[in-house]
Structure 1
Amino acid sequence: MSDAPAIARAADALARATPDALATRARGLSDRAIAWIFVAPTIALLLAINIFPLIWTVYLSFTNYRANRLNQTVEWVGTRNYERILTDPDIWHNMQVTAHFVLWTIVLQVLIGFTLAWLINRKFRGADLWTTIIVLPMMLSPAVVGNFWTFLYQPQIGLFNYVVTFFTGAPVSSFEMIGSVALAPWAIVIVDTWMWTPFVMLICLAGLRSIPESIYEAAEIDRASAWRQFWTITVPMVAPFLMLAVLFRAIENFKMFDLVVELTSGGPGSTTELASINLKREAFEKWRTGYSSAFAIILFVTVFGLANIYVKALNRVKGR
């Protein structure tokens, strides 16, 4: 009779146990073990796709390896590739071109994107239709956009020159955007801004619509002007969203390749040769694999370091 309470508790626990739990316990597997069984293939795939190529690239960056040579003797050259890159004036020119492109595309996209988001957030009639129309460019392939704007930039028949002529009165053939040393950098800035401003607009629009209406109502009760409401409520509360958009666009534009290749191929000369284009030429035209691997690591460390600093600043703005 003394074992009756223990037997009753065991029977009650058995009755409450689910069939899945019983099967799991029968196999001797915990919930954590089952989770790892499902997650492990994904982790292994990510390691194979991301981590291993990174480690292999780091190794190649210290060698004179060339991918187009079979049965070659790979020589360990230490930091020689890094020293040559950091002292090469052509590389620094590519970085300056990249910085110019990144800076001006971000400035224009933030200004135009925020303005469009502010206008659409006013909820006028047809706002949804205009939002759809504005978002269309970012849905296109960069290769398609590059070819499309190459045609628009044609000196004789391109629509862009006729628009400029209409406003300035200059001859149609006087604006050779992608063939001019002075205008080619701005040509790619214009195209990237046209294509990706809608992305910034959507992020800003999400920020604007996340602001509670009660805050504006309280400001109106305090007789705050619309201008004061904009600078003390709208801008501070949308700032984290703006900074997030800047982070995304800066990373993407730092590694921009396909759009610029379709428009100018880095020309005329090296006027629009971004760091990514030079990296491709070193790796797949000159076949200097070790050298280009070192260049890729330098670019990776640069972007990763700047992104880390920026994320810390973003967290401070968000008050974390």
Structure 2
Amino acid sequence: MTETSHSLVDKAAVSAARGTPERLAARVRGLSDRAIAWIFITPAIVLLLAINIFPLIWAVYLSFTNYRANRPNAAVETVGLRNYERVLTDPDIWAAMQTTAHFVFWTIVFQTIIGFTLAYLIDRKFRGHAFWTTVILIPMMLSPAVVGNFWRFLYQPQIGLFNYIVSFFTGIPPSSFEMLGSVPLSPWAIVIVDTWMWTPYVMLICLAGLRSIPDYIYEAAEVDRAPAWRQFVSITLPMALPFIMLAVLFRGIENFKMFDMVMLLTGGGPGSTTEVASITLKRQAFESWLTGRSSAFAIILFVAVFGLANIYVKALNKVKSR
């Protein structure tokens, strides 16, 4: 082959190599924005599905077996619905569910009332409202570990500030009662801490709802000489209700699976007074090593929360469509 032929071949190879990126760029330019978006988000979706779906499927499988995590080499037998039957007939689990229901109900009640009240006051835009909004949000910015240890110190009978505040208003000696060690008081101690920490979260959602109400509605009400209480009942509360319900939904789901705060404050005690469902699940899974039964318990909790949340979302959509 002549030197001229070699030169032509080299030029053709270089031209082909240069043309490949250009052809790829042309193909990319030919894709729609939707196709390009799917190209970028598909790996993330696949990863999230693998992380979330596989453990769920594995837990469902284990719930029908007698598998124990501390005996990984033992023979695994299928027990059918026996684990679910034992969970649903266990009085300790029902007691934990009752404790969880008590905790969820009262925290939602207090957080909703206090959070909406704070949002309503801040929405008035008084002097210094930005500063006080930042101050109110501080508890929500702290980690549960910090909050738990902080309140354990406040609840100390001898040196805790909380007992001295209660003593100041009631006249009861500070050392005569212990919030975390008392059977009737320990559940309320946890409710107080969770309310203190997460009321700002409810306040933010309610504040967003109040700020979304158009000013011209209030102006029309003032033209009609509607009093302030009538404006609140007929305008503010109905239009902010979807946001209030949304805050209740979020806090209900989070409080139903509460673990770290209760574990730091009481560890489920005294006795089993504050042992919520998540702590009972942890004890069965990692202390008694009843992996199959604890998996069945986890599936029951998941179905219960998912079902209640689905019913609640349908009610929320009806309120929004009015």
TM-score by length of 2: 0.90
Partner of 1:204: 206
What amino acid does structure 2 have at the position aligned with 1:86?
A: L
* TM superposition shift of 1:175: 2.3
- Aligned to 1:71, the other structure's residue is in SS state coil
Q: Which moved more, 1:40-49 or 1:291-300?
A: 40-49
For 1:11-48, what per-residue CA distance to the aligned partner results, in whole angstroms no more than 9, with x for missing partners? xxxxxxxx989744499977766544323311221121
Map 1:138-217 to 2 at 5 A: 138-217=140-219
Q: Which has the larger displacement, 278-287 or 307-316?
A: 278-287
Secondary structure in 2 matching 1:105 = helix
1:316 positional shift: 0.2
Flag the 1:30–1:124 CA change in 2: closer, same or farther, 3 A: closer
1:222 alignment counterpart: 224
- Provide runs of 4+ in structure 1 moved above 3 Å: 19-37
Is the contact made by 1:24 and 1:30 (CA closer than 8 Å) also made in structure 2? no
Of 63, 74, 82, 1:61 maps to 63
Instruction: Report whether the alignment pairs 1:279 with 2:281.
Output: yes
Give the conservation status (yes or no) of the 8 Å contact 1:102–1:250: yes
1:298 aligns to what?
300
Shift of 1:272: 0.3
Q: 1:114 aligns with which of 113, 116, 119?
A: 116
Residue by residue, what CA displacement relative to the aligned partner does 1:240-269 show, whole Å, maximum 9, x if unpaired? 000000000000000000011000000000
Aligned length: 302
The separation in 2 between residues aligned to 1:36 and 1:230, in whole angstroms, is 46
Name the CA distance, whole Å, in 2 between partners of 1:158 and 1:31.
60
Aligned match for 1:134, one of 127, 133, 136 = 136
Deviation of 1:285 after TM superposition, in Å, equals 1.1
Stretches of structure 2 that go unaligned for 5 or more consecutive residues are 1-20
Q: Deviation digits for residues 139-164 of structure 1, max 9, x if unmatched?
A: 00101100100010011110000000
* TM-score normalised according to structure 1 size: 0.91
Query: Once the 2 structures are TM-superposed, how far is the Cα of residue 203 of structure 1 from its aligned partner?
Result: 0.7
Aligned identity (percent) is: 79
Cα RMSD over matched residues?
1.9
Secondary structure at 1:122 match in 2: coil
**Equivalent residue, structure 2, for 1:44:** 46
Cα shift at 1:239: 0.1
Task: Return 5+ residue gaps in structure 1 as ranges.
Answer: 1-18
Return the match for 1:318 from 295, 312, 320. Answer: 320
Question: Does structure 2 retain, via aligned residues, the 8 Å contact 1:204–1:242?
Answer: yes
**Cross-structure match for 2:271:** 269
Cα distance in 1 for residues equivalent to 2:79 and 2:155: 46
2:125 aligned partner: 123
- Matching residue of 2:9: none
| Conservation of the 8 A alpha-carbon contact between 1:110 and 1:197 | yes
Q: Find the aligned partners of 1:121 and 1:23 in 2 and give their Cα distance.
A: 52
Q: Residue 179 of structure 1 aligns to a residue in which SS?
A: coil
Question: 1:223–1:274: structure 2 CA closer, same or farther, 3 Å change rule?
Answer: same
